[in-house]
Structure 1
Amino acid sequence: MTALAGTGTLTRLALRRDRLAIPLWALVTGGLVASGPGSLGGLYDTAAARAELAASMTANSSMRSLYGPVFSDSLGGLVAWRFGTFGAVLAAVASLIVVVRHTREEEETGRQEMLSAGAVGRRAPLTAALLAALAVNAAAALLVLAGLAGQGLAGALALALAIGGTGMVFATVTALAAQLTESARLVRGIAAGVLGLAFVLRAAGDSGDASGDSVLTWLSPVGWAENVRAFAGERWWVLLLIAAAVLAQTLLAYALTARRDVGASFLATRPGPAAGRLTGAGALAWRLQRGSLLGWGLGFLLGGLVFGGMVEGAADLVGDNAKAREIFERMGGQEALTDAFLATMVSLFGMLAALYAVGAVLRAHAEETSGRAEPLLAASLGRLRWAAGHLVPAFAGSAAILALSGLGLALSYGHDAGAVLGASLAQLPAVWTLASVAVLLWGAVPRAAGAAWGAAGLCLALGWIGPALDLPRAVLDLSPYAHLPRLPGGDVARTPLLLLTALAAALTAAGLTALRRRDAQL
């Protein structure tokens, strides 16, 4: 039997299991970039308007740190500037999730050991996971190529390869992390930390150097994607750097996976204390969730500090362009551009907080499917008490990280601290609504609990891309965020806040009732 025996079968299994997730991630990533010509072309419909935007963005260090330098004032060049970096980050996130799901999660739950008892080579599971990641990145790249081909085939191909290649760089980073630790949660944390560091390095480099050739930018794979310079005299040789990184990391991951047993890792798990120090189910849940909450909290605080410093430069982003101002007003809901920008950032943090809340709820589902909850529930511990231990960090933790984002925005912006903090916390009813959807799915249909990620992703896509595409109001209203008051600066409408909170409470109660009545369903 060869080391790759069974790869085809495992790949088909992975693609079947992700038959909904892969098209969704590809559509969100590729669709975001492919929508660029339509949205930016409508806003900046003359060469003079595009040149003015490019000049103002080149001079604005805050905007460079967020989007990168503008290398060309053509429509294709502006699309690459505005959407290229975030497209690459989305591709990296999708790759991270797919690889963890089909490597360390399979080992952690014991499914991989059962599969490996058959005619499966040692490197087959890792290869299948990387091929699944390749599928999502290839699909996203094809959408980018199709959407931007009208702006120039060479530039569209360069941007598509840069985004897909960045996704594969982080797929192989995740593959390496999966060899180091026994926990899927820690693998996600390591890979996400590398991605966050890459974004910060690129942002720091671009903030201080408008040419894009800063040393810090070149230390970041996200910066490599930027420096392909699609639609601006393409640097095809940068793609060789991306390919070399993918190849080197793949070979290293293969070498490591051949030297460990299924379920083992190279970083030994630290043994716990001889005498237990946890006083109950709530303490155990907090111990499991605290690392994630700390990471999200620090990220939201830093994000608030960064975006708050950009508020004063928001006017430079739109200049005198009435259509661009209209987009910001539609996203933020206010006529005052500063309030609109703040409302947009607050809404973005609110949508991201839902990802934390859904993940915290589904951590309890993971404890159940892995069998770790069974010994606890076999004792005198009731299901509702056990579930409550995980739901408290989900619901209270989402409030904490939103408060930290509001604090960061207020400290960096320096004005109306109370209004900004209140606007951030006003996102909670929508966050809790999506978290309660996860509770309902987990309690009533545990096999479909992962669909909660789809609901959160749909709301993120509607809130992020929907206003720029001027989608019909009926479509935007599918998201609970569309019913929140646009703060700061607007009137505080209490009715939608109360209704969404009541809906979240009802869905949570229904999910817990279903959980209490059902048997374990893995």
Structure 2
Amino acid sequence: MKRQQTLAGTGTLLLFMLRRDRITVPVWMLSIILLVLATLASFESLYPTEEARQDMAATMLNPAAIALTGPGFYLEDYTIGAMISHQMIGMTGIATGLMSIILVIRHTRKEEETGRVELVRASVTGRHAHTTAALLLVLGVNVVLALLLALGMGGMGIDSVTWEGSFLFAASLASVGIVFASIAIVLAQLTEHARGATGLGVGILVAAYGLRAAGDIGNGSLSWLSPIGWAQQTSAYVDNMWSPLLLSAGLSVLLVAIAYPLSSRRDVGAGMVRPRRGRSEASKALTSPIGLAFRLQRTNLLVWSFAMLLIGMSYGSFIGEAENMMDAMDDALNNMLPETGNALFADSIAGMFMTVTAIIASIPALQTVLRLRTEEKEGRIDMLLSGAVSRTRLLGSYFILAFIYCVALMFMAGLGMGIAGSQSMNDSGYLPDLIIAGLNFVPALWVGIGLAAALIGWFPRAAASSWLITIYSFIAVYLGGILQLPEWMMRLSPFHFVPRLPADAFEWPPLLGLTAVALLLAIAGWSGFRQRDLNG
């Protein structure tokens, strides 16, 4: 009876959550399914012969490619099935993990933060109803996604894309989503704010991908510390090993078992980790809009800056492996790269690593400027603007903070990659080179901020669409060369125009052009924000 009381209303809440996500969930699912199926179809047309596929496998025998894709055992017999598993489990695993984190936090911690859970709990609703309904929702979404994806892949009729491999591939992706849903439900108990829980969840997701990359390149044991690594260790379409999924299932059960007791030991709206008590008097910095904007995001800014340093160091430590990998490549690959010496090859890898790092840095950069929209929706901007603060000053504060933050993020990434890269290459000159290479991407990040500003100014309800520039850029960098995307599609990403230092020569015109575009978008956003009603 007691269990029934704690779960009372779960079914009703689940139906309500489905009603709220009737657009969001299908968009997530269709995006992931169409991306995988389109990539699979393109692989079949681009690499129709075994010789073409093995030549492609030869090009993947380098640290940069392995870090971006997956472990090297897929390359031994590079069939279409092995190719799709090798190159897509990691990327789509990030997508399913991110989807699960967002959905869980949206229906748990976010609901508590806004006070809606307290209102619902005043009725006949159990303590664990929201948690259970959110878990059932995300579990169902991942299971349905896996079934549709498996049926789609198996039904394409490609010889090496077997039904067993298709179901294992899809189950691997679902396992990543379920693990990160379980992580998110624990974070929802620990933190008091949705943005903190989401930030920590995304940080753990990035760390899991980094552990997988480090393990696949160097110490293989690190891959077994990552849920994404477990998904790739299933070796779908190659050995079809289901046993790694037991690790995902076990971790998910353990995390859920931890979350429920934590939920019982805290008050509604509160977190297990209490926020640090503030000063009795506000500092002078809080009297200015930019000081307040920084204070609201200080923890997120510091955590992400440190994370970019670690990401840069993890990638930089493998730059020196380029020389060894170059020596180990067969004659076929050497013939494909006739003008590439060891140093130039390492520079190219460093440029690719820095591009991926810059795309990751766009996540916290966009969070910074989109926080203004969050403050507006929750009604806190009205109080600021009712005083002596103008809209121009308020919006400008968030713009300036985001622009400066981009510089700090890429400096930390370049510093980390430069420290580790100079040691792995035994060349101290790599430190300043990679710091400059990181700062080189700042204008591309500014374009994303400018787009978010323009949407906040003119189409505030569509402000979240600014994330598409990050998602598309990742796909273009990740799959652009493999899928042989046309030039016009590559140019849709601002990161495409940035010279990849230190392999390429430094050029001012593209950076100035990106900066001009960012400023024009920011000015457009400022113009719209001044004219429109709040909460528009």
Same fold (TM over 0.5): yes
Measured after TM superposition, the shift of residue 163 of structure 1 is 1.8
Instruction: Provide the residue aligned with 1:249 in structure 2.
Output: 255
Measured after TM superposition, the shift of residue 228 of structure 1 is 2.4
**1:73 lines up with 2:73 in the alignment:** no
CA distance in 1, matches of 2:94, 2:335: 24
Instruction: Provide the residue aligned with 1:164 in structure 2.
Output: 174
Unpaired stretches in structure 1, ≥5 consecutive residues:
330-334
Unpaired stretches in structure 2, ≥5 consecutive residues:
423-428
Contact 2:347 2:503 in 1 (8 A): yes
Instruction: Provide the residue aligned with 2:277 in structure 1.
Output: 271
Instruction: Provide the residue aligned with 1:482 in structure 2.
Output: 496
Instruction: Provide the residue aligned with 2:382 in structure 1.
Output: 374
Instruction: Provide the residue aligned with 2:108 in structure 1.
Output: 103
Which has the higher mean CA deviation after the structures are superposed, 436-445 or 132-141? 132-141
The partner residue of 2:195 within 185, 188, 193 is 185
State the secondary structure of the residue aligned to 1:268. coil
Measured after TM superposition, the shift of residue 469 of structure 1 is 0.6
Instruction: Report the CA distance shift for 1:457/1:78 in structure 2 as closer, same or farther (over 3 A).
Output: closer
Question: For the aligned residues, what is the CA RMSD?
Answer: 3.7
One-letter code aligned to 1:437: L
Instruction: Provide the residue aligned with 2:317 in structure 1.
Output: 309
Instruction: Provide the residue aligned with 2:130 in structure 1.
Output: 125
Instruction: Provide the residue aligned with 2:521 in structure 1.
Output: 507
Contact 1:6 1:119 in 2 (8 A): no
Instruction: Provide the residue aligned with 2:426 in structure 1.
Output: none
One-letter code aligned to 2:469: A
Contact 2:32 2:95 in 1 (8 A): no
Measured after TM superposition, the shift of residue 484 of structure 1 is 3.1
**1:497 lines up with 2:503 in the alignment:** no
Contact 1:443 1:515 in 2 (8 A): yes
Measured after TM superposition, the shift of residue 423 of structure 1 is 3.1
Measured after TM superposition, the shift of residue 354 of structure 1 is 2.2
Measured after TM superposition, the shift of residue 51 of structure 1 is 8.1
Which has the higher mean CA deviation after the structures are superposed, 100-109 or 60-69? 60-69
The partner residue of 1:438 within 452, 461, 472 is 452
The partner residue of 2:21 within 10, 15, 19 is 15
Measured after TM superposition, the shift of residue 38 of structure 1 is 4.5
The partner residue of 2:204 within 177, 191, 194 is 194
Instruction: Provide the residue aligned with 2:425 in structure 1.
Output: none
CA distance in 1, matches of 2:335, 2:20: 42
CA distance in 1, matches of 2:171, 2:489: 31
Instruction: Provide the residue aligned with 2:441 in structure 1.
Output: 427
CA distance in 1, matches of 2:260, 2:491: 47
Query: What does residue range 167-246 of structure 1 map to in structure 2 within 5 Å?
Result: 167-199=177-209, 201-202=211-212, 210=220, 214=221, 217-246=223-252
CA distance in 1, matches of 2:443, 2:462: 23
Instruction: Report the CA distance shift for 1:463/1:204 in structure 2 as closer, same or farther (over 3 A).
Output: closer
Instruction: Report the CA distance shift for 1:313/1:114 in structure 2 as closer, same or farther (over 3 A).
Output: same
Instruction: Report the CA distance shift for 1:18/1:418 in structure 2 as closer, same or farther (over 3 A).
Output: same
The partner residue of 1:386 within 361, 372, 394 is 394
Measured after TM superposition, the shift of residue 504 of structure 1 is 1.1
Measured after TM superposition, the shift of residue 127 of structure 1 is 4.0
1:13-59 Cα deviation digits (max 9, x unpaired)? 332251575146525874697479449947973686588679x67xx
One-letter code aligned to 2:280: A
Q: TM-score, normalised by structure 2?
A: 0.81
One-letter code aligned to 2:168: A
1:93-119 Cα deviation digits (max 9, x unpaired)? 232122222322233234444555667
Query: Percent identity, aligned pairs only?
Result: 31
One-letter code aligned to 1:460: F
Instruction: Provide the residue aligned with 1:332 in structure 2.
Output: none
1:439-498 Cα deviation digits (max 9, x unpaired)? 111122222211111233223222322222111222222222233344334344433322
One-letter code aligned to 2:100: S
Q: TM-score, normalised by structure 1?
A: 0.83
Contact 1:15 1:132 in 2 (8 A): no
1:116-153 Cα deviation digits (max 9, x unpaired)? 56676544433443355346534654436644773232
1:407-438 Cα deviation digits (max 9, x unpaired)? 23333333454443333222222211111111
Query: What does residue range 269-348 of structure 1 map to in structure 2 within 5 Å?
Result: 269-279=275-285, 280=287, 281-314=289-322, 316=325, 320-321=331-332, 337-348=345-356
Instruction: Provide the residue aligned with 1:458 in structure 2.
Output: 472
One-letter code aligned to 1:85: G
CA distance in 2, matches of 1:372, 1:324: 62
Measured after TM superposition, the shift of residue 169 of structure 1 is 0.6
Which has the higher mean CA deviation after the structures are superposed, 464-473 or 124-133? 124-133
Give the length in aligned residue pairs. Answer: 509
Measured after TM superposition, the shift of residue 251 of structure 1 is 4.7
CA distance in 1, matches of 2:410, 2:31: 25
Instruction: Provide the residue aligned with 1:410 in structure 2.
Output: 418
Contact 2:347 2:501 in 1 (8 A): yes
Instruction: Report the CA distance shift for 1:418/1:197 in structure 2 as closer, same or farther (over 3 A).
Output: closer
Query: What does residue range 7-156 of structure 1 map to in structure 2 within 5 Å?
Result: 7-19=13-25, 21-23=27-29, 26-27=32-33, 30=36, 34=40, 37-38=43-44, 41=47, 45=51, 63=66, 67-70=70-73, 73-75=76-78, 76-77=81-82, 79-113=84-118, 122-134=127-139, 137-138=142-143, 141=146, 142-143=148-149, 146-147=152-153, 150=158, 151=160, 152-156=162-166
Contact 2:451 2:522 in 1 (8 A): yes
Which has the higher mean CA deviation after the structures are superposed, 112-121 or 293-302? 112-121
CA distance in 2, matches of 1:421, 1:92: 31
One-letter code aligned to 1:68: P
